[in-house]
Structure 1
């Protein structure tokens, strides 16, 4: 059952932690969003990344924030305990555009991310 609109706002607010981490080049905020067991799947510059969310933290912590970075959060689905969020990123590290999909669960009254999958826009792949 679709949840109330206020819950969409709560999911978007939780997803802002992801965007803030990427924008500032620190995993500090994302670590508040993701559960320890969260997984990551996607291709970065043509190489498959998969496994622990620790890889995402490493990527964010080793690429400095960029003043030209932009992001948009789209909350696609909110059920009682499940949410799907799409985040569009432009200019990560000054060159990469991504589409991220976050799978979130409401745990103990708080929205937490359990999985992140992403696509790097092909024109931003460094060969």
Structure 2
């Protein structure tokens, strides 16, 4: 059975905390979304980032998104306690395009992100 529309809205709103943090260069909103144990995996300019979500917070707090930054949230999968969200980012830091995949679990009635994996579009990689 498909989840009710309001649940899709709740997942999208949760993921928008991620987008708001990136757009404003302030990890405060993402810290409300991610669990303390959340993990990060992806390649930034060809270098593997993996481990604690703290690295993502550091990136957000030290690189401004830029005035041309754009983002879109797509809820790809939604089950009773599990959601997969894709976030498309364009122009982060004035030059990088990302595709992020967020894995969310519903915990104590709230959607929380437990993992973030991402791809940096190859035409935006600086070597």
After TM superposition, the runs of 4+ consecutive aligned structure 1 residues lying more than 4 A away are none
Q: 1:58 offset after TM fit, Å?
A: 0.4
Q: 1:6 offset after TM fit, Å?
A: 1.2
Q: Gapped runs of 5+ residues in structure 2?
A: none
Q: Gapped runs of 5+ residues in structure 1?
A: none
Report the equivalent of 1:48.
48
Deviations 1:15-47 (A, max 9, x none): 000000000111010000000000000000000
Report the equivalent of 2:107.
107
The 10-residue stretch of structure 1 (2-11 or 50-59) with the greater mean CA deviation from structure 2: 2-11
Report the equivalent of 2:14.
14
TM-score, length basis structure 1: 0.98
The 10-residue stretch of structure 1 (89-98 or 58-67) with the greater mean CA deviation from structure 2: 58-67
How many residues align structurally?
127
Q: Structure 1 CA distance, aligned partners of 2:67 and 2:7?
A: 30
In 1, are the aligned partners of 2:45 and 2:125 still within 8 Å (CA)?
yes
Q: Structure 2 CA distance, aligned partners of 1:46 and 1:26?
A: 24
Q: 1:65 offset after TM fit, Å?
A: 3.1
Q: 1:2 offset after TM fit, Å?
A: 3.2
